[in-house]
Amino acid sequence: MVPVFGYYVGYTWVDWALLVVLYFASGLGITVGYHRLVAHRSFECRPWVKVALLIAGGWALENSACKWAADHVRHHVRCDEEEDPYNATRGFWHSHVLWIFYKTPPDLREKYEAPFRKDPVTMWQHRNYALILLSGLALPFAVGATYGGWKSGLGCFLLAGVARMFMVLNSTFCINSVCHLWGEQPHTSTDSSRDNWLVSLVTLGEGYHNYHHAHQRDYRNGPRWYNFDPSKWFIFGLSLTGLAWNLCRIEPERIRYQA
């Protein structure tokens, strides 16, 4: 539908601009909000900042922050084992996308979700996830329709809504699959995690996955200044304005680099 509409009708500059804006917004909602803030508590921030991040993360179609974080923590605790939801030892397609079709046993869901159910903001987002998700589709339609009528609204809905969600989903899935199959292991070899800088280009810095597995609470995935990690820059920027604090950072002398 997306390419068909583009071929026969075409997309406006508004559609493309909003695609980029919402890709970054929903991507940061996942990397900064779901991942580094909720799942790993890598930093603290003002409540309204957390609300904004979890709304943006909800636009990515990756479930509520509570469920996402529970799966992610289980991945770290049981990496490459049977309980690992993204278990890379079961092959690329399982770790990339097929894992979403497997239902989590109730006891595991209860065990790993319990810590996140104590947070009121996370649970507010969990209860309102469906509405937040729909707003991520309604927003581009409304912007497009305001710009050029219902046809432009449909185009913006398809490109900045549907296609953007598809792109963010698959870029995130690459962390579970590509970053456990191809890349380097300079920080730890206790599991299959790997650093893959190419993945960082589309995941806003999440491709330094081997470092992340070695130092899970560090607010940076790319620890060096030259590592492409927009998410760490965003968090650091929040700290400069007083909107975030207690940034967890592993001291350089504790980082082990292999020859």
pLDDT at position 150: 77
Q: Taking CA 206 as the corner, what is the angle to CA 32 and CA 134, rounded to the nearest 5 degrees?
A: 50
H or E segment at 58? helix 47-58
Q: Give residue-wise pLDDT tens across range 164-175.
A: 999 999 999 999
Summarize pLDDT for 147-170 with one digit per residue, the tens. Answer: 888 778 899 999 999 999 999 999
Predicted local distance difference test score (pLDDT) of residue 259: 31
Residue 257's pLDDT is: 43
Nearest to 121 by CA among 71, 69, 172: 69
Distance CA(73)–CA(69), nearest Å, equals 6
Which parts of the chain sit beneath pLDDT 70? 252-259
In Å, what is the CA distance from 5 to each residue of 16, 39, 168, 197, 237? 14, 38, 20, 34, 39
User: Packing angle between helix 120-127 and helix 129-156, nearest 10 degrees?
Assistant: 60
pLDDT digits (tens, 9 = 90+) for 115-134: 999 999 999 999 999 999 99
List Cβ neighbours of 75 (8 Å cut-off, separation of 6 or more). Answer: 84, 85, 86, 176
CA 153/CA 104 separation, integer angstroms: 38
Report domain extents, the chain: 2-254
- Its pTM stands at 0.92
